[in-house]
A and B are shown apart, each in its own frame.
Chain A
Amino acid sequence: AQSVTQLGSHVSVSEGALVLLRCNYSSSVPPYLFWYVQYPNQGLQLLLKYTSAATLVKGINGFEAEFKKSETSFHLTKPSAHMSDAAEYFCAVPNQAGTALIFGKGTTLSVSS
């Protein structure tokens, strides 16, 4: 069965520090993986997605994620946090039929000055 687990419901960093948001997946089919960001009272915006073309995926706003099959992970990173990165981040995987996305519970990122 498809599932994702996001470790850490809340991550706090200082402005300029490294951002690391963790996502582990379980998939019975070749995995496609997504990271979405949700700003307060808004919808979800795609940050990046893994489609097997390359294990290191670059997304918008300086974020990137690395697919590691041996660790079943797809962690999201950004070298230097900005105040505007404060938001909730969701990792997702398609369901087995490909008809829906299965989301993790989300990680709230706080950035302090």
Chain B
Amino acid sequence: NAGVMQNPRHLVRRRGQEARLRCSPMKGHSHVYWYRQLPEEGLKFMVYLQKENIIDESGMPKERFSAEFPKEGPSILRIQQVVRGDSAAYFCASSPTSGEYQETQYFGPGTRLLVL
């Protein structure tokens, strides 16, 4: 059973460009979470999605960031007009169910975004 897949693994963008990060959850998982890891910091929750629905986006910056999880295909985290402060590792996780506090989230290898 393949794990959580993320691509690209590394992404370089110049200031003002758009970054699109993709996440394919584990087979059978319909819940996706995005986290950001800034240098010298732990992981910070960004958004939680189910198929075609955003359930909790309380950790998403109000501007330039958006996420989707369409009925078909991977989840996408989009960052418009990137700035240097967006440079970080972005991790996707998935779970088969949620709303259950003990549910394990399975993490992908991450996308490391560098903004020049």
Contacts and interface: CB of A to CB of B under 8 A. Distances in A.
Interface in A78-113: 90, 94-95, 97-106
Contacts of A44: 43, 91, 93, 107
B107 A45 contact: yes
Contacts of B98: 98-99
A43 B108 contact: yes
Nearest to A2: B101
B106 A100 contact: no
A104 B98 CA distance: 21
B99 A99 contact: yes
Contacts of A98: 98-101, 103
Interface in A1-53: 29-30, 32, 34, 36, 41-46, 49, 51
9 contacts: A51-B102, A98-B98, A98-B103, A99-B48, A99-B55, A99-B99, A100-B33, A101-B43, A105-B42
**A-side interface mostly:** loop
Given A32-B102, A103-B44, 6 more contacts: A32-B101, A43-B6, A43-B108, A98-B98, A99-B56, A103-B35
Q: Which 5 A-B pairs have the closest CB atoms?
A: A100-B45, A43-B107, A99-B56, A44-B107, A51-B102
Interface string A51-90: 1000000000000000000000000000000000000001
B108 A49 contact: no
Interface in B65-107: 91, 93, 98-107
Contacts of B4: 43
Nearest to A42: B109
Contact of A49 (B43, B104, B107): B104
B59 interface: yes
Contacts of A94: 101-102
Contacts of B105: 101
Contacts of A41: 112
B18 to A, nearest CB: 24
